Structure 1
């Protein structure tokens, strides 16, 4: 799951690609400090007994809880390292094997037509739809075309994205605002935001546990404010078809 964006340096794809390949344990430790968000999914669409697609599943942030409730779960990501960690996590969890992992691009999913009840994507679509990518609008159209292709009639799409790290109220990055506006204005998604703070035992551990991903600006803010709890705002967009 591509959880967040380095605020100081913008969308640092090269750095994050390296993290998703080679620093999966550090990444998994960091996101383990956030609260579970499955309750918000269930408020939008109860997931028990459904066929679910976790798009950009990463190390299994959502999958660990989704697998317990789903009829079936497909987890896609372009990082094999992340999916290997996800697979190992679910195996250790002892969940009945109702999931599979697929290395896949959001724009071309190796999934059958009309086979999914709910598509969930957390902090992932943004990597193809930020304004630094000249084809972001085309990418978004392709992603939606694929999601709608695999979705059954009366299915649901739920998208989570960052609304700001180190801020107590939403302050989304400028390079994501057009994408966010497209979700509500062009694609008619409903929207809300919630807090998804990182909670560490101390501000030193908060700095050490997040700087590799968010960069020096956020780390300096953590030290200056002595934050053991690093504020994070998460946006949620959803639509029933």
Structure 2
């Protein structure tokens, strides 16, 4: 099975179709920080699941990602939405952002920081420290950070992968983030579509659950961490 990094580079359309089956998160973001007329950074923007619902109301939107293929898909999506040219895309590493000091009101990051802050990476805590330092640098006083990460796919209550639990604990204990969780179920038209559209990303273990439970809706839990400067 391809790695997630390979998928983000080579299977962008397949990935985009899969995540399009999850709920719109604009209401969740707006509840934490109303985003109309804000200068926003989408860190690890990917195919634009967050950017596509923020762009129309943002004062400005910077979308960063390590995958140029994902950003190309995002650009096409925003162009088709005829969103005014208040947005830009930049290939960038989370730990070194080409963004001016104190220029951002709101940072959002969806399912992205975890790739360099999981315990499979021996420098996970150093990576997280560098990311947080960069976000603090680019945020204006009273700025807000909102982070979305997985709390388990194929589960109805939070059951995060063990390799992410230290990262999540650090967000709360070391960096002062508040936390809650929500359901982010994938809703497909039938069991076969659910299997076909998720196997490439999640593998055989989830496929077995889909078949055993005859799921056309795949349960997923997501964690939300947020902090105001």
Q: Distance in 2 between matches of 1:214 and 1:161?
A: 15
**1:17: Cα distance to partner?**
1.1
Q: Say if 2:84 is the partner of 1:79.
A: no
Determine which of 139, 156, 167 is the counterpart of 1:179. 167
1:34-75 deviations in Å (ceiling 9; x for gaps): 010111110000000000000000001001110011000000
Residue matched to 2:58: 70
Q: Distance in 1 between matches of 2:17 and 2:28?
A: 22
Q: TM-score w.r.t. structure 1 length?
A: 0.94
Q: Say if 2:79 is the partner of 1:91.
A: yes
Q: Say if 2:208 is the partner of 1:208.
A: no
Determine which of 129, 139, 158 is the counterpart of 2:117. 129
Q: Say if 2:213 is the partner of 1:225.
A: yes
Could you list the runs of 4 or more consecutive aligned residues of structure 1 that deviate by over 4 angstroms after TM superposition?
Answer: none
1:159-205 deviations in Å (ceiling 9; x for gaps): 00000000000000000000000011111100000000000010111
Return the structure number with greater relative CO, CA threshold 8 A, min gap 6: 1
Q: Distance in 2 between matches of 1:107 and 1:60?
A: 20
Q: Distance in 2 between matches of 1:16 and 1:178?
A: 21
**5+ long unaligned stretches in structure 2:** none
Q: Distance in 1 between matches of 2:57 and 2:138?
A: 20
Q: Say if 2:115 is the partner of 1:150.
A: no
**5+ long unaligned stretches in structure 1:** 1-11
RMSD, aligned α-carbons: 0.8
Residue matched to 1:119: 107
Q: TM-score w.r.t. structure 2 length?
A: 0.99
Q: Distance in 2 between matches of 1:167 and 1:123?
A: 17
How many residues align? The count is: 229
Residue matched to 1:34: 22
Q: Distance in 2 between matches of 1:88 and 1:72?
A: 18
